[in-house]
């Protein structure tokens, strides 16, 4: 009988790997400039086809990570690697080439869509700029509208003719135009009501299942993360304070800040929401008492 040695296959290389990332902004007027550190030594990774939720309150630095990946934040330390190569300091030409693989969906779909362009023009422009023929671009526009559950006649209309949820669907369609490997989603549902949020989150999940795209999903709401991401990283004051499998982090949060975020998440049921507010007040009072006692 022949013995066969079986060795475990090596784990797939992360699609995105951020190592010890630091971002500093220069703020203030003439003669009074100072440095504000938005990120301090942040490290994380995203596997192909995975969604990583990045959660924290306003000013925590979560959106700055997304901006750094997109080349829109001043990286002063660390490294960002995408698909095996460093993208920390790319030239403008290299950054434009990368945009076919890395796309973004912003919080406010209306300001991110040119109001003077039809939906067809908005969706076809990035494809035609990259060399796609007009005929092929128009065919792709029809496909994309179908993917995001909008009628084909939406292509002749303008952004102002759509609701907030529909405009976000259009923004999602635009992010898919060039078949990216990663989409940075910067608070993409925070401006929507709860029922519309649920539909857009389901759309993201469906698209990921169909295309295998990875998502860096930035949000202030842990309840949103619960519905969209396999793993979550919790940010506070420019640092990651907790990370892990989403269900584990939500069920058994290890950091006090994570617990506070959970208690701040909105609930559609008014009675449960009122109870959660009371729990949050009691928790914050307890934290304040502990902080005072430790002084």
Smallest Cα–Cα separation from 103: which of 214, 221, 15? 214
Q: Where is average pLDDT lowest: 71-75, 172-176, 260-264? A: 260-264
Lowest mean pLDDT among 17-26, 51-60, 122-131, 272-281: 272-281
Q: Say if residue 147's pLDDT is above 50.
A: yes
Q: Which residue has the higher pLDDT, 50 or 5?
A: 50
Kindly report the number of other CB atoms within 10 A of residue 249's CB atom.
24
H/E element holding 52? strand 51-55
Per-residue tokens: 69:
């990946």
Q: Does residue 188 carry a pLDDT above 90?
A: yes
Residue 211: what pLDDT? Answer: 94
pTM of the model: 0.85
Structure confidence at residue 222 (pLDDT): 87
Q: What is the pLDDT of residues 90-121, one digit of tens each?
A: 999 999 999 999 999 998 888 889 999 999 99
- For residue range 14-23, what is the model confidence (pLDDT) as tens digits? 999 999 999 9
Share of the chain above pLDDT 70, in %: 85
Domain with CATH 3.40.50.300 in the chain: 13-101+182-193+202-252
pLDDT, residue 10, reads 54
CATH number attached to the domain at 13-101+182-193+202-252: 3.40.50.300
Torsion of CA 200, 217, 111, 39, to 10 degrees: 160
User: What is the token pair recorded at 279?
Assistant: 């729990």
pLDDT in tens, 129-143: 888 999 999 999 999
| Chain center to CA of 105 | 8
Is the pLDDT confidence value at 75 over 50? yes
| pLDDT of 237 higher than 70 | yes
């Amino acid at each position: 009988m022949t013995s066969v040695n079986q060795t475990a296959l090596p784990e797939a290389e992360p699609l995105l790997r951020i190592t010890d990332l630091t971002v500093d902004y220069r703020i203030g007027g003439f003669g009074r400039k100072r440095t504000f550190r938005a990120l301090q030594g942040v490290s994380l990774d995203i596997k192909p086809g995975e969604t990583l939720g990045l959660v924290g309150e306003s000013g925590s630095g979560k959106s700055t990570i997304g901006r750094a990946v997109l080349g829109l934040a001043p990286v002063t330390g660390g490294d960002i690697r995408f698909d095996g190569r460093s993208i920390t300091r790319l030239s403008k030409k290299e950054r434009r080439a990368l945009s076919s693989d890395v796309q973004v969906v912003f919080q406010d779909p209306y300001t991110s869509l040119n109001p003077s362009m039809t939906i067809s023009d908005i969706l076809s422009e990035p494809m035609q700029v990259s060399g796609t023929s007009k005929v092929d671009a128009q065919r792709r526009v029809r496909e994309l509208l179908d993917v995001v559950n909008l009628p084909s006649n939406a292509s002749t209309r303008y952004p102002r003719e759509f609701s907030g949820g529909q405009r976000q669907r259009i923004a999602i369609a635009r992010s898919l135009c060039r078949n990216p490997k990663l989409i940075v989603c910067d608070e993409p549902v925070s401006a929507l009501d709860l029922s519309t949020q649920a539909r857009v989150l389901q759309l993201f999940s469906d698209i990921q299942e169909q295309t295998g795209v990875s998502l860096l999903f930035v949000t202030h709401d842990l309840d949103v993360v619960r519905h969209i991401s396999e793993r979550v990283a919790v940010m506070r004051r420019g640092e990651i304070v907790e990370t892990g499998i989403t269900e584990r982090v939500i069920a058994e949060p290890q950091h006090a800040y994570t617990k506070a975020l959970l208690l701040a998440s909105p609930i559609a049921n008014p009675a449960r929401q009122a109870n959660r507010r009371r729990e949050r007040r009691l928790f914050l009072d307890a934290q304040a008492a502990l902080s005072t006692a430790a002084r």
